[in-house]
Amino acid sequence: MAVQVAVIGSGREHEARAEEVGQLLAERGCIVVTGGGGEVMAAASRGAKAAGGTTIGILPGERRDEANEWVDHVVVTGIGHARNLAVVASGDAVIAVGGSWGTLAEIAFASRLGRKVVILEPGHEVEGIPRASLPEEAVELALSGLGGSGA
Amino acid sequence: MAVQVAVIGSGREHEARAEEVGQLLAERGCIVVTGGGGEVMAAASRGAKAAGGTTIGILPGERRDEANEWVDHVVVTGIGHARNLAVVASGDAVIAVGGSWGTLAEIAFASRLGRKVVILEPGHEVEGIPRASLPEEAVELALSGLGGSGA
Amino acid sequence: MAVQVAVIGSGREHEARAEEVGQLLAERGCIVVTGGGGEVMAAASRGAKAAGGTTIGILPGERRDEANEWVDHVVVTGIGHARNLAVVASGDAVIAVGGSWGTLAEIAFASRLGRKVVILEPGHEVEGIPRASLPEEAVELALSGLGGSGA
Amino acid sequence: MAVQVAVIGSGREHEARAEEVGQLLAERGCIVVTGGGGEVMAAASRGAKAAGGTTIGILPGERRDEANEWVDHVVVTGIGHARNLAVVASGDAVIAVGGSWGTLAEIAFASRLGRKVVILEPGHEVEGIPRASLPEEAVELALSGLGGSGA
């Protein structure tokens, strides 16, 4: 079964690095999971598609057409911000790129569930969470120790 | 974008028909969405995979390995029975095969969200929900009126 | 600990009976739990307050001020229709008054969780769920077999 | 309508201060909202009850009897860690006492929803969140600027 990696975050200024993360993950055979929205989520999905990968988007609302155009498989949860839990729970590992309060909630939930989390700099400072300065390093760190096709 | 159809239900005695529903949906290019568990959910996913299709499983728990082996893309929600809302919200249409209280909740939520629902007989009697006596008829009914690759 | 009874449903034509249900529950020392919204939910809460009772409203949105004015304690879930699960799970018993798809989902979830459900006529026809023709009978049925102050 | 304040956190070593926070909130007429579990949640509720206050517990599981004994009104959500969203959304303000990943998720969600959050030291270091060194100061900070009976 292919490794699933959740890419979380927000901020237009982080899109280029998120796109690179998505591309690197797809090149390693990983499926990219996001919240299905804009900015970092769209960029990571776009990067994955550019590399021939597969993407899943887990939306907070009730309508499938709210997903960005680079999402292959749309999950419509209808549960608002609580969908953040589903995004990180669905990743075998999680990479945070930029982001605000919603991203911090996701980092915390991912850690609570025992998912491996990596923060790509710049980004939240969270005690105990490893950081990477480059997309390639973030992907390496996230996948290290996981089994499956992406390891 | 491929049409996504949620197949819901439970009961070992309904597995053969669920498998046929999954196969027919995959043959028409639809992605099969289920709750990722056993019985009807597993059978529908197995049928879709036998026809070369793609499957999504939306789990109630917190662990990816609780999905049945015919699920390609696993969404781990961590929200218990509330994941039933996500299952039907993620379908452009919904087909119910057998099932008990959880399935009835899904039929109701799907209708609340305006998703087209078809009950394959035998199954719940719900006023206002169309019924089909055979898997082929259920798939026809579910897809009628939808756009996309499955219509 | 006081018995908590969830009153679910919708429809302006059912408000008078919902108000009576709320009043009867409060007279027996039960706390009335609803979804915190209008129509049947507001009427049941109003009835409970008129009898000096206590009410809890469990809202789907993210703002406390969306509760009706007869709710004492407001729970803001932010999870949309998935809050229906919380409403019935929070009742030791459940009484349905009128209602549409959301109410049917609640009846199903309540049954799935083993909560005692009573449908006050007229209302959904659901196999296996007892029915009452009058508010007093609905309250009696709902409380029969429960322990605590309301039994 | 009484002000509702969510008290979040965990850790046996923080119970004494959580109890004091609960007591101070009750003395000012606030309703204390928690996740209904042990340690900090139980202590805050116990403190509120000792001062004659009212408490609400919002549980992650499906059973009412999982609440601690100092919870007056139990909300059973059935949505696991996603109930953390409901806990903080139900507070007009939020006070964090100790805590681990779940608490960090709550601080983040509360900030995302615009709730006022105060961290009682020692506790998580989160940029932009005000800190208090004593329970009394935490309560003052949390209530400052709110309307209602607790302000």
Instruction: Collect all residues of chain A within an 8 Å Cβ-Cβ radius of residue B56.
Output: 56, 73, 75
Q: Please return the burial class of A50, using the count of CB atoms within 10 Å of its CB with bins 0-12, 13-18 and 19+.
A: middle
Q: How many CB atoms lie within 10 A of CB B147?
A: 10
Q: How far is CA B5 from CA A24, B34, B87, C3, C115, in A?
A: 31, 9, 10, 41, 31
Instruction: Collect all residues of chain B within an 8 Å Cβ-Cβ radius of residue C108.
Output: 101-102, 104-105, 108
- Give the pLDDT score at A146: 87
Q: Which of B56, B73, B86 sits opposite A77 (nearest CB)?
A: B86
In whole angstroms, give the CA distance from residue B4 to residue D117.
41
In whole angstroms, give the CA distance from residue A75 to residue D22.
40
Q: Coil, strand, or helix at residue C117?
A: strand
Residue of chain B minimizing CA distance to A35:
B75
How close A92 comes to chain D (CA, Å)? 18
How close B112 comes to chain D (CA, Å)? 20
With bands split at pLDDT 50, 70 and 90, how would you rate the model's confidence at A149? Answer: very low
- The residue among B5, B56, B64, B76 with the most chain A CBs within 10 A of its CB, best to mutate, is B76
Residue of chain C minimizing CA distance to B104:
C108
Cα radius of gyration rounded to whole Å, chain C? 13
Q: Which of C79, C81, C85 sits opposite B112 (nearest CB)?
A: C81
In whole angstroms, give the CA distance from residue A127 to residue D145.
31
Q: Average pLDDT of D43-47?
A: 98
Q: Average pLDDT of B57-85?
A: 98
* D81 touches B: beta carbon within 8 Å: yes
With bands split at pLDDT 50, 70 and 90, how would you rate the model's confidence at C146? Answer: confident
How close D110 comes to chain A (CA, Å)? 9
Q: Average pLDDT of C46-66?
A: 98
| Contact criterion met (CB < 8 Å) for B78 and D81 | yes
Per-residue exposure over D62-99, b if at least 16 CB sit within 10 Å of its own CB, e if not: bebebbbebbbbbbbbbbbbbbbbbbbbbbbbbbbbbb
In whole angstroms, give the CA distance from residue C146 to residue C103.
23
> Residue B88: pLDDT above 90?
yes
First and final C-alpha spacing in chain C: 12
- Give the pLDDT score at D146: 87
Q: Which of B64, B90, B113 sits opposite A75 (nearest CB)?
A: B90
Instruction: Check if the beta carbon of residue B88 is closer than 8 Å to that of residue B62.
Output: no
| Contact criterion met (CB < 8 Å) for C108 and B127 | no
Q: In what order do the strands lie in the sheet with B116-120?
A: B73-76, B55-59, B31-34, B4-10, B93-98, B116-120, B131-132
Instruction: Collect all residues of chain C within an 8 Å Cβ-Cβ radius of residue D89.
Output: 62, 76-78
Residue closest to C87 by CA, chosen among C120, C65, C109, C71: C109
Task: Compute the half-sphere exposure of residue A38: CA atoms within 13 Å on the CB side of its CA.
Answer: 4
At residue A68, what is the residue type?
Answer: N
> Residue C150: pLDDT above 90?
no
- Which positions 48-67 of D are in contact with B (Cβ < 8 Å)? 62
In whole angstroms, give the CA distance from residue A23 to residue A50.
7
In whole angstroms, give the CA distance from residue B104 to residue B106.
5
> Residue D114: pLDDT above 60?
yes
Instruction: Collect all residues of chain D within an 8 Å Cβ-Cβ radius of residue B78.
Output: 79-82
* B105 touches C: beta carbon within 8 Å: yes
Over the stretch B128-150, which tens digit does the pLDDT of each residue have? 999 999 999 999 999 997 864 44
In whole angstroms, give the CA distance from residue C128 to residue C140.
18
Phi and psi at residue B147, to the nearest 5°: -90, -170
Residue of chain D minimizing CA distance to B83:
D79
- Give the pLDDT score at D147: 63
Cα radius of gyration rounded to whole Å, chain A? 13
Residue closest to A124 by CA, chosen among A150, A149, A94: A94
Q: How far is CA B23 from CA A108, B56, C13, C110, in A?
A: 40, 14, 46, 33
Instruction: Collect all residues of chain C within an 8 Å Cβ-Cβ radius of residue D64.
Output: 4, 90, 92
Angle at CA of residue C53, ends D68 and C151, nearest 5° = 70
In whole angstroms, give the CA distance from residue B109 to residue B104.
9
* C76 touches D: beta carbon within 8 Å: yes
Name subunits touching B (3+ CB pairs < 8 A): A, C, D
* A75 touches D: beta carbon within 8 Å: no
Instruction: Check if the beta carbon of residue C42 is closer than 8 Å to that of residue C48.
Output: no
Q: Which of D102, D109, D126 sits opposite A81 (nearest CB)?
A: D109
* A38 touches C: beta carbon within 8 Å: no
With bands split at pLDDT 50, 70 and 90, how would you rate the model's confidence at A150? Answer: very low
How close B79 comes to chain D (CA, Å)? 4
